[in-house]
Amino acid sequence: MAFEYLLDFGCPIKEKFGMAGFVQRVKDQARIDTFFEQCREMGKDEKEILNEKVTLIMSVGGQQKSEEVRIKDLKKRADELHAIRGHCFDCPANAHHSPFGCLGMINYPISLRGEEWIMDQYSAMANPNGSFIQLMIEDNKISGNVMATQRPTGLETEEIPSSIFESVEGITRDYTTATGQAITLSSDQIFEMIFGLGRWEFPTMLSFLREFGAIDPDRASQMDVYESVRSLMRLMGQEPNDKLEDLKGDIGEFLLEVNDEDDRTIVQFKTFLHAIYVAYKMNAMIVTDA
């Protein structure tokens, strides 16, 4: 299971299968690749593997459901993408430079090292007007209690899926904003906010890039006026125009790099931030599902 995100940019593949159908087929292929690798290590041939059954655990309407399917049925569904995957290579939404690179994920369980990196990377000082992330958490009364229930209890079994986190407890840190306000945030609050956003608005994307150190904060500050005007125009039902685009600056380069010492969670979170960066630059929304 994983936290999934998608750059919401129209293409012939999504038009053919629909958004849900596209995502399902990409996930099917990932499951097939993993299962084939495991079965080959056990000495099974392709015919045996295709007739194997697997149990898929899915989240439907906030409830976890299981479905037993044969590998050959998953493969048949996933193979429908292969004939048209060439479209992806020149697509501007291909944030991961791979087939279907508009779709990405952060796998569970989220590691303790990953949580520590995220809390260390967050900067309450990045925004001269105060932390946007802290304001969102406060305005939406995000306590982190929902995420706290998703931590290991020691009762995980094959029937009960493993928890979202590796650590039994979240991480709490004290910060000071650029306005001098002392704040305390927990990783449970950060993840509860990320997982609950669904469809990311442009000011949110800009703030995440700024406050997690993915772009130069000075560049981001230049974009604040543009985002304020763009949000006001949307509220008034007005379409963007040339005058609005004249206000738009350049958010500069993406500043985070993947290092050899990064674990899976850190790599995938950096990749997620890069997808937000690509989406923001091309005026595409990010859609997420936990």
Q: How many residues does the chain have?
A: 290
Among 162, 185, 184, 177, which residue's Cα sits nearest to residue 217? 177
Give kind and range of the element (H or E) at residue 5.
strand 2-8
Helix or strand holding residue 115 (H, E):
helix 112-121
Q: Domain residue spans in the chain? A: 2-104, 108-289
Mention every residue, 6+ apart, whose C-beta is less than 8 A from residue 201: 231, 285
pLDDT tens digits, one per residue of 1-30: 788 899 988 888 888 888 888 887 887 777
Closest residue by Cα to residue 54 from 37, 77, 33, 70: 70
Task: Give per-residue pLDDT as tens, 107-120.
Answer: 899 999 999 999 99
Integer angstrom CA distances of residue 23 from 37, 45, 148, 284, 288: 22, 28, 28, 17, 12
Q: Give the Cα separation of 187 and 198 in Å (integer).
A: 18
| Nearest partner of 245 among 226, 225, 273, judged by Cα | 226
DSSP H/E element including 173 = strand 172-176
Helix (H, G, I), strand (E, B) or coil at 166: coil
Q: Please report, in tens digits, the pLDDT of each residue of the chain (290 residues total).
A: 788 899 988 888 888 888 888 887 887 777 777 777 777 888 888 777 788 777 766 655 455 667 778 888 888 877 887 777 778 888 889 998 888 889 998 989 999 999 999 999 999 999 888 899 999 999 999 999 999 999 988 765 554 556 799 999 999 999 999 999 999 999 999 999 999 999 998 889 999 999 999 999 887 877 776 777 767 767 777 776 766 666 666 788 999 999 999 999 999 999 999 999 999 988 899 999 86
Taking the C-alpha atoms of residue 24 and residue 77, their distance in angstroms, rounded to an integer, is 9
Half-sphere exposure of 88 (CA within 13 A, CB side): 20
